[in-house]
Amino acid sequence: MKKVGFVSLGCPKNLVDSEVMMGTLAQAGYEITNDAGQADTVVVNTCGFIESAKQESIDAILEATRLKAEGHASRVIVAGCLVERYRDDLLVELPEVDAFIGTSQVSEILKAADDEFDAKTLTITPIGNKSATYLYDEHTPRMRATQSHTAFIKIAEGCDRPCAFCSIPSMRGSFRSRRFGSIVEEARELAKEGVKEIVLVAQDSSRYGEDLGEVDALAALIRALGEIDGLEWIRPMYAYPTHISDAFLSAIAETDKAVKYLDMPLQHASRNVLKLMKRGGNRESLERLIERVRAAVPGIAIRTTFITGFPGETDEDFEELLTFVRNCRFDNVGVFTYSDEEGTAAFDLPNKVDPKVAKKRRDRLMKEQAKISRALNKAKVGSTFPVMFEGLSQESDLLFQGRLAGQAQEIDGYILINDMPEGLEPEIGRIYDVKITEAHEYDLIGEITAV
C-alpha cells in the first residue's frame, strides 16, 4: 500500500479540494499520511492568489522535489491554483514534478498518482478556465482534514465578479452552484459523523443558486440546513456586499442554528478606490448597508477585509477608510497590502503606491481596529455566552479553548478557558455556557459555568 502525503495551502475552498483528493485516493487503497517525509507520493495543493501565497507554494514544491531527489519519495504531484496560473512555466521550470493537476482536474488524482501512467499528458488541455465545469457532490469521497466537530462544504465554484485585483476567475472558472439537494445531503451525512459546525464556502456565497435560476437560494439553504438533527452551527462565509438580501438576513435571524455572523469582504470604503477596484459603492452606501444588517440581525458579529496600497489610493482615500472603520466598529477585520498580480486589471493601472506606504497604512488600520476590538471585547466581561469547546489551547497546554458563534475558526479570536466545574470532562464540539472574565485585543478568557 503506497503512502501519499498532502501539503494543502491557501483557503478553505482549496482545502476541500485536498480532502476530495485524499478521499479518492483512500477509497482506491492508498494510505494517506500528514508526514510528507514518510510518503511515497507527495501532493502539493497550491495557492496562486497573491505573491506571498505563490512563494509559499513554490517553497513547498521545492521541498517535495528535494524529498524525491533524496530518495524519500518517488513521485511528486502539484495541484491547485498555481497550476492554473502558471502551468506552462511550471512544466519548464520543474521537470522533476511528475504531474500537474489544475483546479478542474481534481478527479484525475488517481491517474496522476499511478506510477504506470504518464501523468504529463494531463497537462495537454488546461480546463481550469472560463469553461471549467468540475463540481464535487455528496457522493464524492472525502477525507476531512479539519477537527472532527467542524467541516467545510463548498456550495459553489468559480467567480464572475470583475474585481480588478483578483485572479480567481482565471484559476477557478465561471461561477457555478452545486445542486441544493446535494448540499443538504452532504450536510446530513456530516452530521451523522458527529460534525457540529458546517461552514459554507464559495468564492461568492451570496450568489449561490443564481446560475440555476433560483432567487434567494442561500437563504433557503440556510433554513433547510437548520432543520438537520445534530448540527449546532451553520456559518456561511464570503458574502459579497451588493448581494446581502433581506431574505438572507431574515434566514440568519430566524434560523436558530445559523450563527449571527457575517463574513463580508468590503476591500475599501473610498468611492475612488472602489471604482478603480471595479466594485462600486462609497463610504455612505456601505455604512447604510452595515446599519441594515445590524437592524435585521441584532447582535450580529461582522467580519470584513480591506486592501491598502491599491493603485491610485491617496492619503485622502486612506483617511476615509479609517473613518469608515471607526464609524462601523467591526468585530473582526483583516487587512492586506495590495499585491500586483499579472493578468489582473489592476496590474495595468497607473499611480502605483509604494509598498512601504501600503504597509504603513495597513499597520495604522490594524492599530485602529485593535482599539475597537479591545473595547468590544471588554464590553463582554461579566457576561455569559454559549461557546463551542475545542480542546486544549493552541497557546498553552494549561488552558482549553473554544469559540463564540461570532468567531470563525482560525481567522478570528478564541475563548481561552481557564476554569470549569469540578469533575467536568468537556467534550470537543459541545456547547457550554462560558462567563467572560478577561478581555484582550482578539482573545477572551472565561470559565465554564454550566453544562
Q: Are residues 306 and 416 in the same domain?
A: no
Q: Which amino acid is at 299?
A: G
As averages over each run of 10 residues, the pLDDT of the chain (451 residues) reads: 94 96 97 92 94 94 96 95 90 92 92 86 52 86 96 96 91 93 98 98 96 96 98 97 96 98 98 96 97 98 98 98 98 97 95 98 97 97 97 90 95 94 93 97 92 64
- Select from 347, 378, 409 the last residue of a domain: 378
**Which residue, of 83, 106, 123, is where some domain finishes?**
123
Same domain, 280 and 368: yes
Q: Are strands 31-33 and 3-8 parallel, antiparallel or unpaired?
A: parallel
Among 323, 350, 378, the domain-final residue is 378
Long-range pairs for 367-371 at CB < 8 Å and ≥24 separation? 368/322, 368/325, 368/326, 369/325, 369/330, 369/333, 369/335, 370/441, 370/442
**Could you tell me if residue 144 is inside a domain?**
no
Same domain, 202 and 177: yes
DSSP 8-class letter at 426? P
Residue written as grid cell 473610498:
270
Indicate if 374 and 408 belong to the same structural domain.
no
Return all residues near 195 (Cβ < 8 A) that are at least 6 apart: 148, 149, 150, 151, 230, 231, 429
On whether both 171 and 296 belong to a single domain, the answer is yes
Residues belonging to the chain? 451
As beta bridge partners, residue 444 has 415, 439
- In a domain, residue 130? The reply is no
Please list the residues that pair with 75 across neighbouring strands: 41
The Cβ of residue 125 has, within 10 Å, a number of other Cβ atoms equal to 8
pLDDT of residue 127: 41
- Strand bridging mode 99-101 / 150-154: unpaired
| Same domain (yes/no): 370, 411 | no
DSSP state of 362: H
Count of CB atoms situated within 10 Å of the CB of 379: 11
The CATH number of the domain holding residue 19 is 3.40.50.12160
pTM reported for the whole predicted model: 0.95
Report the pLDDT value the prediction gives residue 116, as an integer from 0 to 100.
Answer: 84
Q: Indicate whether 393 belongs to any domain.
A: yes
CA atoms 207, 211, 216, 222: torsion sign = negative
Same-domain status, 20 and 42: yes
With 0-12 CB in 10 A as exposed, 13-18 as middle and 19+ as buried, what is 433? middle
Say if residue 432 is in the same domain as residue 318.
Answer: no
Q: Do 169 and 297 share a domain, yes or no?
A: yes
Same domain? 272 vs 231: yes
Distance CA 423, CA 178 (A): 46
Examine residue 131 and state whether it is found in any structural domain, yes or no.
no
Torsion of CA 332, 174, 212, 157, to 10 degrees: -50
CA 176 to chain centre: 18
What total number of domains does the chain contain? 3
Full domain range(s) for residue 291: 150-378
Residues 54, 185: one domain? no
Examine the domain organization and report whether 278 and 157 are in the same domain. Answer: yes
Radius of gyration of the chain (CA): 22
